[in-house]
Amino acid sequence: MDWDSDPELRAMRDEFVGSFGERKQTLTAAWAKVAAAKTADDRASALEEVASVAHKVAGSAESYGFPTLSQIGGAMDDLLSFGSMPAGADGVAAWGTYAELLGEALGEAAISKKNPARFETDPRFEVLAKEAAKAAEEAE
């Protein structure tokens, strides 16, 4: 698709890119709830919000020319779908890293209006992708 030459496509993409700031804010707020959760139920509820953002990004970003966002969101969504919930301080810290990664990628894409491909070689993404693949394999 040529997003730049078709005014309707460009308007759709601009609207989608315009949602990145709100998605990042929602993700950041949801992650703050996860980090502050006192009970497993509170953590699970807050993770649902994180998962919702990741799922929505995974499902739509590639269609608008942002495959890296789709990959990051998809890996996070896969981890949660396959039941890899963060447990203990290490698990929460790892998930915080993943949420931070998606937030940074959304922020960069919002500013540049381009796919933030540099995140594909980010060590945090490499760990996330391996964890998602492992969770998928274990679920089979």
Parent domain of 100: 7-139
Tell me whether residue 65 is in a domain.
yes
pTM of this prediction?
0.88
Coil, helix or strand at residue 116: coil
Number of domains in the chain: 1
Place of tokens 């896969």: 78
| Cα–Cα dist 136/10, whole Å | 36
Residues 55, 138, 120, CA angle at the centre, nearest 5°? 45
> Between 11 and 94, whose confidence is greater?
11
In-domain check, residue 2: no
Please check whether residue 62 lies inside any domain of the structure.
yes
Q: Is residue 1 part of a domain?
A: no
63 located within any domain: yes
Measured in residues, the chain has a length of: 140
In a domain, 17, yes or no: yes
Q: Which amino acid is at 2?
A: D
pLDDT tens track for 67-111: 999 999 999 888 887 766 656 666 777 778 888 999 999 999 999
Q: How far apart are CA 135 and CA 97, in angstroms?
A: 17
Q: Tens digit of pLDDT for each residue in 59-72?
A: 999 999 999 999 99
